[in-house]
């Protein structure tokens, strides 16, 4: 009602007589008011606003099943799996990758040391012949 200029238009249109001018300002008696909003439309300064309570929709609460608590063994197993997953597996993976890297680099080094045999010369390997056949 800060905008009220005391014109009295709302007093004249109220069918219930719920509005009176007191000290030059309109006052609404909430016990008599039926919220017809005739005063809201009649007020030239827009001083009257309808305050509606916020509707709260109540929804049924769904029953929530309580989760069973893990046993001490379950808790211990969970902690062990967490440790293995965070500590042991990364170390094992690094060890496997390192071993594979060493194996491959050794294999490549061995291949680079081999000398291609020259034509007509034996490769240095002895072949065993069976039964004296040539």
Structural domain spans, the chain: 1-50, 79-114
What pLDDT, on a 0 to 100 scale, did the predictor assign at position 99?
92
User: Which neighbouring-strand residues pair with 129?
Assistant: none
Architecture (CATH level 2) of domain 1-50: 2-Layer Sandwich (3.30)
What pLDDT, on a 0 to 100 scale, did the predictor assign at position 13?
92
pTM: 0.38
- For tokens 């919220």, what's the residue? 35
User: Measuring CA to CA, which residue among 26, 83, 75 is closest to residue 49?
Assistant: 26
What pLDDT, on a 0 to 100 scale, did the predictor assign at position 130?
67
Which residues in the chain land under pLDDT 70?
Answer: 1, 52-56, 61-65, 112-134
């Amino acid at each position: 009602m800060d905008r009220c200029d005391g014109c009295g238009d709302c007093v004249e249109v109220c069918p219930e007589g719920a509005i009176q001018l007191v000290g030059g300002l309109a006052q609404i008696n909430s016990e008599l008011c039926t919220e017809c909003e005739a005063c809201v439309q009649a007020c030239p300064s827009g001083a009257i606003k309808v305050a509606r309570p916020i509707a709260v929709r109540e929804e049924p609460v769904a029953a929530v099943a309580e989760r069973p608590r893990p046993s001490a063994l379950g808790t211990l197993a969970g902690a062990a799996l967490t440790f293995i997953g965070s500590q042991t597996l990364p170390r094992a993976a690094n060890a496997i990758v390192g071993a594979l890297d060493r194996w491959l680099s050794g294999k490549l080094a061995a291949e680079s040391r081999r000398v291609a045999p020259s034509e007509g010369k034996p490769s240095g390997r002895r072949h065993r012949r069976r039964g004296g056949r040539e």
